[in-house]
Chains A and B, each alone.
Chain A
Amino acid sequence: RLSKVVSYYGLTTPPYKTDALEPYMSKRVVELHWGKHQQDYVDGLNKQLDTSPFYGHTLEDMVKEAYNNGNPLPEYNNAAQVWNHHFFWESMQPGGGGSPEAGVLQQIEKDFGSFANFREEFMLSALSLLGSGWVWLVLKRNERKLSVVNTRNAINPLAFGDIPIISLDLWEHAYYLDYKDDRRAYVSNFMDHLVSWHTVTLRMMRAEAFVNLGEPNIPVA
C-alpha cells in the first residue's frame, strides 16, 4: 500500500519555562506570544505549504527566497515570523542581561565605540520604529561589522545578506500586557535582565565561519 509522507513545521519550544522570564516578561505574555501568536504563524505557514512551491524548503531558505527582493510572496510573513520568534526566544535566558565578555565585548567596543553606545543605539532604534516590527543586532557581511537595524512587521535581515545575532520583538503583543505604552522600559529590561550573551557568543562563533572579523591571516610561503 502506497502512503505519502508529508512533513510540515512544528512549534519550537523556548529553552526555558513560560514563567522563567518573570518579572520582566510575564508568564501570561509568554504563553500568549508563544502559544498563540507563534502557533498561528506556524499553522498559517503549514496551511500555505499544502499548495506552495516552497514546500520542502528549509525555513531559512524560505525566508530568503520568499522575500523576493522586496516584493514578498504570500508565504513570507508566516515563514519569517516563525523564524523571528524562534530566534527571539533563544535570544533570551532567565538571569540574562548585563554585559558580554571577551571577544563579543571587544567586537562591540570596536564597532560601536563602547558597550554603552551600543545599548543606546539599540534603544534609539527600538524607539524610532513606527508600528510593528523588530530591532536586531546583526553582523554585516560586507562591512564585516556589527550593526543595529530595525525592520517592519515580519522583515528579517537575512534578506539583505546580514547575519542576525539578537532580535527583539517590537510588536505590541510582545509587551503591551506588561508595559503598555512604555516601550522604553521593555527594551531596557530586555537589555538589563533578559538578553542571553551566552547565545550571542555561540551565534558570533558560527557567524565568524562566514565573516572574517580579524585581519586576513595569510600564511607566508
Chain B
Amino acid sequence: VSSVYWIKQQPLPYPTDALEPYISKETVEQHWGVHQHKHVERLNGMIGGSEWEGMSIGQMMLASFNEGREPPQAPFFHAAQIWNHDFYWRSMKPGGGGKPPERLLKFVNRDFGSYDGMIKQFMDAALTQFGSGWVWLSYKGSKLPHVNSKSPIPSDNYGRLVISKSPNAINPLVWGHSPLLAIDVWEHAYYLDYENRRAEYVSAVLEKLVSWEMVESRLRKAVLRAIERDGHTSMKQRRKEIHVGDASTSGEARRRPRSQDQQVPSSVTVMPAGEAVPN
C-alpha cells in the first residue's frame, strides 16, 4: 500500500444525490466513491520512483498511451479512467439537459444537420459500443498534436464536432480530438439504476443531465487551443478570430467557402477555468 499520494481524487462538483432520479445516489457513491477511488489508489501505487512522478493526470495519460502500440504502459488505464470520470462528472449538472445554447447549437446544426441528428448519432454510438467504454462529443481541431506524421484526414474535415466511441479507457485526446462531452457506457455506470437498458440511461443523461453550458465552454477553449496550435494561421488571423470573432466575418468562415454557415464561436471569451484540460 502506497503511503504517498501523488494524485488526489477530485471532488464531485455536486452532492452525490444531485443527479436523482436519473442517476441514483447509490450509483454515484459507488461509481465515484468506490470505483473511481480504486483507480486513484492503483495509480498512486505506480507513480513513486517512476518516470511518471510529477506529471498531471492528463500528461501521464498521454505519455503512457505508447502512441497506440499495444499494450499501453501500465499507468494508462488508471490515469485515463480518472481523467474520463472527472470529465464525465463535470459533463453533467442537476437540472441539465434541454437544448444546447444558441452558439453551440449553430455548430451542432452545421456538423450534424440538427440537434436531433446529433442525438441520433450519439445514441447509435452508445448502443453499438461493444464491451466497456465511452461515448464522446469532441472537437476535431486543426492538428493531431501527438502524431508526428501528417494526418491522412483531409484538412477541410478539421475544425468540426465529431461523435466517437472508445473501448475501455481510451480518451479521444490520444487521437488529437478535444473532448467536449463524455458519457460512461461501462455497465457499472448504469446497471444499478437501469439494469441492461443502456438506451434509457444514455437518453436520460442527454435529456436531463448534460451541462450544455459546460460543453460550450469546453468548445470555446478547444477552438482557441486549435487556433494556437495551427501553424498555418497567421498572427493577424489569430487576432481576428480571438478578438473580433463575429461568426459571419471571421477568417475561419471565409477560409472554407463551401460550407456557408461554418464559423468559429462568436466573441470567444475565455471562461473561468472550470477544470484542468491537459495541453
Contacts and interface: CB of A to CB of B under 8 A. Distances in A.
Nearest to B34: A181
Given A37-B196, A130-B169, A181-B34, A173 B187 contact: yes
B167 interface: yes
Interface size class of A (residues with CB under 8 A): 10 to 19
A40 B127 CA distance: 12
A176 B195 CA distance: 9
B187 A181 contact: no
A132 B167 CA distance: 10
A77 B128 CA distance: 11
Contacts of A205: none
Nearest to B191: A176
B186 interface: yes
A181 B131 contact: no
A122 B116 CA distance: 47
Contacts of B271: none
A173 B169 CA distance: 18
Interface residues of B, number: 19
A141 to B, nearest CB: 25
A131 B191 contact: no
A107 B38 CA distance: 37
A172 B189 CA distance: 10
A17 interface: no
Given A32-B196, A130-B169, A181 B130 contact: no
29 contacts: A32-B195, A36-B196, A40-B196, A130-B169, A131-B132, A131-B133, A131-B186, A133-B131, A152-B131, A154-B131, A171-B131, A171-B187, A172-B132, A172-B186, A172-B187, A172-B188, A172-B191, A176-B187, A176-B192, A177-B191, A177-B192, A177-B195, A180-B30, A180-B34, A180-B188, A181-B30, A181-B34, A181-B35, A181-B38
